[in-house]
């Protein structure tokens, strides 16, 4: 875990307000676990002050290159979108606990379900799973056809179903509509996206699985207790017990946390 000035090797708008950025540097060597994230400083000064958490979307160890995909939302990510090739970016990471790969044996099947900017971490996961000989089936949810990204990349790794809320492409509806239609069995599911989607996926799933959560962060390293979620097991005196998303997560076993 390290802070490094990574060099931006490319940046491209791959869908409306969705950017793919590639970065190069030594710390990329340590980014081996899918589902982990980096904490990015978007300004040189003190405004905006805090780092922004962004998932690791892909890593090329040959090129020592990290790929992130993000949506230009507020001030910080818009500043990120304005960066150019050869600019440097202050990156802290990799951080957090990723998706456990050893839960799946060779020949087993994983169902990956992603929504919007929850999709990027699933791509690195899919690549790692395929390398292990696990069959990967993916369901990606978008609002409308223009928003679709990474479809081709996921198709190269296994079966893929795309859903759009307005029906302009693929299955009309939500990712869970596609889950209900696909009756083929799977051994585990992995999901990342907005909380209502995670909830629906967990309820619709026919197996145990893993979910990746988001929360507003301070430190990103487990020290400030900003980013907690409720644990479903133990209770403290006040009847609640929290897990830190930045350091205990962002990936949790679906039953471990209350969503």
Partner 1 sequence: MINMNRELPGLSMKNPVMPASGCFGFGQEYARFYDLNKLGAITVKAVTAEERAGNPVPRVAETESGMLNAIGLQNPGLEHVLQHELPWLEQYDIPVIVNVAGNTMEDYIYVSETVSRVKNVSALELNISCPNVKVGGIQFGSDPAIAAELTKKVKAVSQVPVYVKLSPNVTDIVEMAKAVEEAGADGLSMINTLLGMKIDINTGKPVIANRTGGLSGPAIKPVAVRMIYQVSQAVDIPIIGMGGIHTADDILEFLMAGASAVAIGTANFVNPFACPELISSLETRMAELGIDDVESIVGRSWKTCSSVSLSSR
Ligand X SMILES: Cc1cc2nc3c(=O)[nH]c(=O)nc-3n(C[C@H](O)[C@H](O)[C@H](O)COP(=O)(O)OP(=O)(O)OC[C@H]3O[C@@H](n4cnc5c(N)ncnc54)[C@H](O)[C@@H]3O)c2cc1C
Ligand Y SMILES: Cc1cc2nc3c(=O)[nH]c(=O)nc-3n(C[C@H](O)[C@H](O)[C@H](O)COP(=O)(O)O)c2cc1C
- Find out whether 55 is annotated in a ligand binding site: yes
For 254, the token pair is 């679906």
Site for ligand FES in 202-241 (CB under 6 A): 217-220, 222-227
Number of residues counted as binding ligand Y (CB under 6 A): 2
- Find out whether 227 is annotated in a ligand binding site: yes
Site for ligand X in 226-255 (CB under 6 A): 250
Instruction: Single out the residue of 52, 65, 191 nearest to residue 116, CA to CA.
Output: 191
| Residue from 218, 253, 255, 258 binding partner 1 (CB under 8 A) | 218
Q: What is residue 250's DSSP assignment? A: B
- DSSP string covering 183-245, please? ----SEEEEES-HHHHHHHHHH-SS-EEEE-----SSSSSSS--SEEEESS---TTS--EEET
Site for ligand Y in 192-221 (CB under 6 A): 218
- Find out whether 85 is annotated in a ligand binding site: no
Cβ–Cβ < 8 Å for 103, 109: no
Site for ligand X in 110-129 (CB under 6 A): 117, 120
Rounded CA-CA distance 170/172 in Å is 6
| Residue from 49, 82, 206, 258 binding partner 1 (CB under 8 A) | 49
Residue 21 in contact with ligand X, rule: CB under 6 A: no
Residues making up the annotated binding site for FAD are: 52-55, 69-71, 76-77
Residues that bind partner 1 (CB under 8 A): 1, 3, 41, 46-51, 92, 215-229, 236-242, 247
């Amino acid at each position: 875990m390290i802070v490094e000035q990574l060099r931006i090797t490319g940046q491209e708008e791959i869908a409306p307000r969705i950017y793919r950025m590639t970065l190069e540097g030594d710390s990329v060597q340590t980014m081996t676990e899918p589902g982990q994230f980096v904490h990015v400083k978007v300004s040189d000064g003190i405004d905006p002050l805090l780092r922004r958490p962004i998932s690791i979307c892909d890593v090329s160890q040959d090129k020592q290159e990290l790929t992130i995909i993000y949506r230009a939302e507020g001030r910080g990510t818009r500043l990120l979108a304005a960066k150019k090739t050869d600019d440097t970016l202050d990156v802290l990471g990799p951080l957090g606990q990723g998706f456990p790969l050893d839960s799946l044996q060779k020949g087993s099947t994983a169902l990956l379900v992603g929504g919007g900017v929850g999709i990027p971490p699933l791509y690195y996961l899919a690549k790692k799973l395929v390398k292990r000989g696990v069959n990967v089936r993916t369901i990606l949810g978008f609002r409308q056809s223009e928003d679709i990204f990474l479809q081709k990349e996921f198709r190269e790794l296994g079966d893929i179903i795309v859903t759009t809320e307005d029906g302009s492409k693929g299955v009309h509806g939500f990712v869970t509509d596609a889950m209900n239609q696909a009756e083929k069995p799977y051994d585990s599911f992995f999901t990342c996206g907005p909380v209502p989607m995670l909830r629906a996926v967990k309820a619709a799933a026919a197996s145990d699985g893993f979910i990746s959560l988001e929360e507003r962060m301070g430190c990103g390293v487990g020290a400030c207790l900003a980013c907690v979620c409720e644990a479903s097991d133990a209770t403290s005196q006040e009847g609640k017990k929290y897990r830190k998303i930045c350091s205990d997560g962002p990936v949790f076993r679906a039953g471990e946390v209350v969503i």
